[in-house]
Amino acid sequence: MDKLIITAALVGAETTREHNPNLPLTPQELADAAYECYQAGASIVHLHVRDANGEATQSREIFAETIELIKQRCNIIIQVSTGGAVGMTVEERIQPVTLSPEMATLTTGTVNFGDDVFYNSAGYIEKIASTIKEYGVKPEIEVFEAGMIDNALRLLRNGLISEPLHFDFVMGVPGGIGGTPKNLMHLVESIPPGATWSVAGIGRSELPLAAMAIILGGHVRVGFEDNIYYSRGVKAESNAQLVERVVRLANELQRPVATPDEARRILGLKV
């Protein structure tokens, strides 16, 4: 079994300081949070950024500033979001990919997202996938529904993405696949041999799905984008606190945690 890759999803597009006052927002706060997560054992940072008003943005400049600040502190793998926030155009969403980060997300289908719709038509998916390919970036395929795996395999057949594939199962979004053990088993069994996967459980499903991933040989994503609580009714103090708990669980279950360079080898990135 490979060592465990832990991804820290620091902020997302939806969480606000009303949800959790410890949410990092500025480039400096995001870089500090990324460094704390790296020190705690995370090897990937899943990155969204905010503008001066704290609103979600896909601004190339703000991504560039944030990435530079993170790189000054540590060698954590930087994975930019191409999901952005619901309602953004595909042109807005792909901006950070043009900075050639090591990784970028690629959601392979449309899904209801609370009261909104996270829109990913075939045209959007092809545009994002071809931009990711053009800039030599490794996609992480974001799966909010089982059919998104089939869509990703279609992209593989059409040459828009290439093996080894890496999936992230985002489970428990209201409108998407539920965060249950049975659903996770179905997703894991539906990806091709040789593919790697992580799970991002939303809200209260974060912890049990993380435990399952550690046991099953998958990888784990935690952070304020997905879950603002440490335990029932208790807000997390930081993203790093959530990473630290996954490291403790992995230690108890005797699954070693990957450094960023070890994660690069597992994912087929340049070391």
Given the rule CB under 6 A, which residues bind ligand KMH?
12-13, 81-83, 85-86, 105, 107, 113, 118, 142
236 binds, among ligand KMH, Zn ion, none (CB under 5 to 8 A by kind): none
Establish if 151 lies at the interface with Zn ion (CB under 5 A): no
Minimum CB–partner distance for residue 84 and Zn ion (Å):
8
Residues 188, 218: contact at Cβ < 8 Å? yes
Looking at residue 205, the DSSP 8-state letter turns out to be G
Q: Among 166, 164, 167, which Cα is nearest to 177's?
A: 167
When CB distances are held under 5 to 8 angstroms depending on the partner's kind, the choice from Zn ion, ligand KMH, none that residue 66 binds is: none
Which of residues 86 and 146 has its CB atom nearest to Zn ion in the complex? 86
Stretch binding Zn ion (CB under 5 A), from 14-22, 78-86, 124-132, 245-253: 78-86
In the list 57, 81, 151, 198, the residue contacting Zn ion (rule: CB under 5 A) is 81
Instruction: Please name which of 115, 54, 53, 124 lies closest in space to residue 88, comparing C-alpha atoms.
Output: 124
To which residue do tokens 């480039």 refer?
27
Q: Which does 82 bind (CB under 5 to 8 A by kind): ligand KMH, Zn ion, none?
A: ligand KMH
| C-beta closer to ligand KMH: residue 83 or 109 | 83
DSSP codes of every residue in 28-97:
HHHHHHHHHHHHHT--EEEE-EE-TTS-EE--HHHHHHHHHHHHHH--PEEEE-S--STT--HHHHTGGG
Residues that bind Zn ion (CB under 5 A): 81
